[in-house]
């Protein structure tokens, strides 16, 4: 932190004491809920992040972090710094940091923990076997595919030996463990575990750990933005093809006006299949969390396999969030096991220390725990996405989603189908038809003058309301022409 502040102070000295961004009568859109001591997300004009960061430091803000790839500055502000940036024409908007939470640990209608054994006869989920993953392994094991797990970190575990190609911590809370919550390690095992008697859905896939959730499984939007900033810059270096998002915030607005949806779409159009948890606020309608409410991403709800491989007794989990979204899109896109799923534990983590009842006795393993929630369901489908991409390396995110959705089998009493890993390798259907990108994304691309080169259509200066979206094939768009590292959000 000291080094970052020193760099920013040096920048202040270079720009001098005059503040060229000040404009008489101008006032940025400042969240009225923002107060002295809060962490602010400052959205700025392209190329001005460092200048605005310098002004924040000079006016008394602390913990200043510049995310120049997405034109956002985060800072713990005081009254003086709020006033200083509010009148700067380089600042588009200043909002309070938004909380996100891991999509795990739901309770039933009576408030009982859904991981409890109750009368002692409930069985743990068979995990990957419940979605037919072993039948897929003859053709694909996920080899060569890297999945970014944006979560609470990934602990060292024998069943993940050599799998985590890099780790980046955006929480920076001085945690002594790689995964102090235990949530991310469990999901890593579901996706790509490859141990003696527990295998994930894609046992030969690799992982990137982007830590945005703290010890309790909570996080801030600012850290999520940092993770996506890193992902857009480094996706080619590490060949990331899938991103798992097992956290969310309440859906409060259209995806066109939702920052989490916009950043998720940026990864999607950059070639990363984004898999998001639906949320744990069911069974009522309109209970989705964002970015699971975004129409492009693969949104995953939970089904209860009743502890059996047979499909006949599968039921959509009562806690699993349902659509439609605010924009009336049918969600989730698919269901996967999400109740009493056993996977890898992180010794010393909050999950193991506070919930020893979730520890699964197994003499052959160092640490196993059970967990319930659409977090786990999303990890299952991220593993399926890795299987599909290993079998079909040329597939775009839209084709991966088409394969996953087409693979589904009916679940009694549900309008959403359950994923089948083996079928996903051979199935395909049209998805995301007539769906338009987030306006936040489109506006930014237009401002940057980016021409996407779709069948001769000029995307510069287009009146988006007049576009005949039915005539636009997104599969034909050359997204490689977009320099995603320059995308920022409004």
Indicate which residues carry an active-site annotation: 151, 183, 375
Q: Looking at residue 115, what DSSP letter applies?
A: T
3-state secondary structure of 300: strand
What sign results for the dihedral spanned by CA atoms 223, 225, 228, 233?
A: negative
Q: d(Cα 387, Cα 121) in Å, to the nearest integer?
A: 33
Looking at the DSSP assignment, which residues form a beta bridge with residue 39?
76
Q: d(Cα 134, Cα 43) in Å, to the nearest integer?
A: 46
Q: Which token pair is 373? A: 């929630």
End-to-end CA distance of the chain: 27
Q: Looking at residue 474, what DSSP letter applies?
A: G
SS (H, E, C) 143-161: CCCEEEEEECCCCCCHHHC
Closest CA to 115 of 373, 418, 380: 373
> What are the φ and ψ backbone dihedral angles of 81, each rounded to 5 degrees?
-70, -35
291 within 8 A of 267, measured Cβ to Cβ: no
3-state secondary structure of 351: helix
Closest CA to 339 of 112, 114, 133, 184: 114
Q: Looking at residue 183, what DSSP letter applies?
A: H
Q: Give, in degrees to the nearest 5, the angle at Cα 341 between 339 and 346.
A: 130
Closest CA to 159 of 345, 405, 391, 361: 345
Longest dimension (CA), the chain: 72
Q: d(Cα 283, Cα 287) in Å, to the nearest integer?
A: 8
Q: Give, in degrees to the nearest 5, the angle at Cα 309 between 139 and 161.
A: 55
Q: d(Cα 469, Cα 430) in Å, to the nearest integer?
A: 15
> Which residue carries 């859905």 as its tokens?
201
59 within 8 A of 34, measured Cβ to Cβ: no
296: left (phi over 0), alpha (psi -120 to 50) or beta: alpha
Closest CA to 284 of 109, 62, 77: 109
């Amino acid at each position: 932190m000291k080094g970052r502040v020193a760099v920013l102070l040096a920048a202040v000295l270079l720009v001098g004491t005059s503040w060229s961004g000040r404009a008489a009568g101008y006032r940025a859109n400042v969240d009225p809920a923002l107060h002295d001591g809060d962490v602010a997300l400052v959205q700025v004009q392209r190329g001005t992040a460092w200048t605005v960061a310098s002004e924040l430091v000079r006016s008394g803000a602390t913990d200043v972090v510049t995310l120049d790839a997405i034109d956002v500055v985060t800072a713990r502000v005081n009254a003086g710094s709020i006033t200083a940036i509010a009148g700067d024409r380089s600042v588009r908007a200043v909002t309070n940091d938004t909380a996100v939470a891991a999509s795990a640990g739901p309770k039933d209608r009576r408030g009982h923990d859904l991981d409890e054994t109750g009368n002692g006869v409930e069985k743990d989920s068979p995990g990957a076997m419940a979605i037919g993953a072993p039948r897929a392994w003859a053709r694909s094991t996920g080899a060569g595919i890297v999945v970014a797990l944006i979560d609470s970190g990934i602990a060292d575990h024998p069943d993940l030996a050599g799998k985590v190609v890099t780790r980046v911590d955006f929480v920076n809370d001085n945690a002594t463990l790689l995964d102090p919550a235990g949530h991310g390690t469990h999901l890593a095992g579901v996706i790509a575990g490859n141990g003696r008697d527990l295998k994930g859905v894609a046992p030969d896939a690799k992982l990137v750990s982007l830590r945005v959730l703290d010890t309790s499984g909570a996080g801030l939007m600012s850290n999520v933005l940092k993770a996506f900033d890193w992902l857009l810059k480094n996706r080619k270096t590490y060949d990331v093809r899938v991103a798992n998002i097992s956290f969310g915030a309440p859906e409060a607005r259209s995806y066109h006006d939702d920052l989490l949806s916009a950043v998720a779409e940026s990864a999607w159009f950059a070639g990363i299949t984004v898999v998001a948890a639906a949320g744990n606020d069911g069974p009522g309608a309109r209970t989705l969390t964002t970015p699971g409410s975004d129409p492009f991403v693969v949104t995953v709800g939970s089904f209860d396999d009743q502890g059996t491989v047979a499909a006949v007794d599968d039921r959509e989990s009562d806690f699993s969030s349902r659509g439609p979204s605010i924009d009336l899109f049918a969600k989730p896109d698919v269901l996967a096991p999400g109740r009493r799923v056993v996977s890898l534990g992180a010794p010393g983590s909050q999950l193991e220390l506070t919930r020893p009842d979730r520890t699964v006795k197994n003499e052959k393993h160092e640490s196993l725990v059970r967990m319930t929630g659409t977090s786990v369901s999303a990890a299952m489908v991220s593993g399926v996405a890795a299987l599909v991409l290993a079998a079909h390396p040329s597939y775009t995110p839209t084709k991966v989603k088409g394969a996953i959705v087409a693979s589904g089998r009916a679940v009694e009493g549900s309008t959403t189908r359950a994923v089948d890993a083996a079928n996903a390798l051979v199935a395909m259907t049209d998805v995301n038809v007539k769906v338009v990108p987030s306006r936040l994304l489109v506006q930014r691309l237009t401002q940057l003058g980016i021409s996407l080169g779709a069948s001769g259509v000029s995307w510069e200066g287009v009146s988006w309301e007049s576009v005949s979206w039915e005539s636009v094939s997104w599969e034909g768009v050359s997204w490689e022409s977009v320099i995603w590292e320059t995308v920022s959000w409004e």
